[in-house]
Each structure stands twice: as structure tokens, then as C-alpha cells.
Amino acid sequence: NIGFINGEYINADEAVIPIDERGHQFGDGVYEVVKIYNSLPFLLDEHLTRLKESASAIQLKLPYSLDDIKKIILEGIKRSELLNAEVYFQVTRGIAPRNHLFPNVSASFTMTIKPARKVSEQSYYKGIKTITTKDERWANCHIKSLNLLPNVLAKQKANNEESYEAILIKDGYVTEGSSTNVFVVKNNTLYTTPLTNNILSGITRKNVLKLAQKLDVEVLEKSFTTEFLISGDEAFLTSTTVEVLPIRSVNNKVILNGDPGPITKLLHESFRQLYAE
């Protein structure tokens, strides 16, 4: 497992983070996850743009240009010798004696490259179980920040209930999953939560919406309730890690007959074409 800390490639399993690292102590940083298919980083420019936006939203100056980060990633992929992998990189406000105020040090950039986490094939042809739970996160969920405690608690709750994902509910409406965006198909129209500070602007979400438009699927970016989700004809999750993952049930209520629907399958196939070419 390849790692990278502030200018040096290292063995990710041997890396040590100083106790006074602000990512570690405050979650004071931002991150990205990028998939590598066939040794190529997928949609890298979009991830780098989002990293820059997240960093700027927390007044964090990136220690490298986006071009340099790209070079670091490409070199890391080469060193990893992995064909299919997952790159994780994060930027924190650096290493300084613990104090809430911004320190006067440069930001830390760290990265790991590991074999990609796999979702079981069965999940794709049967669809996965989900639960709903209250969205207890902060007011700036559009920032991809390291503060993931509510997301961790929600995902664990889902797992404890034999489900794959927790769908978060704020003021009666679906925001997103603990690590995914949520889509519903009803009467051949594709619905997903609109972009506000309440959700992350998923790179997969954006590309799936683009594909839907290209394929003449009607799209509505509009908030919906749990009842609407359950009453849909199809539903799915999107993320870099899961791509397009069909939802079988929500709170043990099966959506239609539970099996992945035609628009879900079409969008997943088209999405896979984007990196298979």
C-alpha cells in the first residue's frame, strides 16, 4: 500500500501521524476519494476542483497546485503497480501545538493508494437494503470535510440493522446517504435531492445526471420524502465507491418488486462505459 506524506512516498502501513496533527485532533481538513480503473484515475479533474472548493470553504490554502497533486497521484499509481485501486488524499491545516486558532504552518497533504473496496456482485443484481435515520450533521455538508462522525454513526446503525446504507432525513426530506447520493425513478422521471449546503455535490451524481439527460430520461432535482422514495418504481445510490447501486428496500419496505429497474441498469451500464472506453 503506497502512501504519501508531505513530499515523500512511503509504505502506507508504516506511516505515523504526529499527535499534534490537526486532521487527527480537530478533523480540520478536507479530502477526496478517486477510483483508478485500468491504472487511470477516473474523473480526476472534477475531484481536484471539488478539493479546491472544499479547501477554500474552510480557508485552507492547499500546499500544492492542482497540477502538482495530479502528478503526485499519477506517480503514486505507477509505484503501486495496481490496475484497479482507490486513491484517498486529504489536506489538513498542518501540525502545530493543539489550539483551536489557525496555526501559522503550511497544510499537510497525505495520500494512500490501495486496492479498491468492492461491492458484492449480488448487491448489484439484487439491490441493497437501506434504513432511514435523522440527519444530525452540521450546516455545511457541501464541504467534503474530515468530520464524519455523524456519517460513521449512521452507517454503523444501518449495518447493525443488516442494511448497507443509512439514508439521512432532514426536516422530513431525504438529503443523502451517509456516503452516497440518493435517486428515485417514478413514472419514468429521475428525482434527486437538489444541490444546497445540505448535501455533497457528488461527482458520480453529476455524471449520472448528465448521462440521464443524454439518454432522454427526464430529470427533476427536487427534494422528496421517505414515503415518495418507497413509492418509487426504482431507487439507487451513487458514489465513487459504489458507482450506481440499486436499492432493494427502505426500512424493510421493498420498492416495487425489489429488483433493479431498467433505468437504474441503463444508467449503471452507461456510467461504466465512461471508464471502460
**HEC profile for 174-198?**
EEEECCCEEEEEECCEEEECCCCCC
Closest CA to 13 of 93, 148, 113: 113
Q: Enumerate binding residues for ligand PMP (CB under 6 A).
A: 33, 176, 179-181, 200, 202-205, 238-240
Of 94 and 150, nearer to ligand PMP (C-beta) is: 150
Q: Residue 137 CB, nearest distance to ligand PMP (Å)?
A: 8
Check: CB of residue 5 under 8 Å from CB of residue 95.
no
Of 86 and 233, nearer to ligand PMP (C-beta) is: 86
Of 142 and 265, nearer to ligand PMP (C-beta) is: 142
Give the integer Cα–Cα distance in Å for 25 and 245.
34
Q: Which three-class secondary structure state does DSSP give residue 95?
A: strand
Catalytic residue, chosen from 118, 144, 186, 253, is 144
Q: Residue 65 CB, nearest distance to ligand PMP (Å)?
A: 22
Of 92 and 179, nearer to ligand PMP (C-beta) is: 179
Give 131's strand partners.
Answer: 166
Q: Residue 179 CB, nearest distance to ligand PMP (Å)?
A: 4
Give the integer Cα–Cα distance in Å for 68 and 45.
12
Q: Is 144 a catalytic residue?
A: yes
Question: What is Dmax (Cα atoms) for the chain?
Answer: 58
Q: Residue 105 CB, nearest distance to ligand PMP (Å)?
A: 27
Active site residues: 144
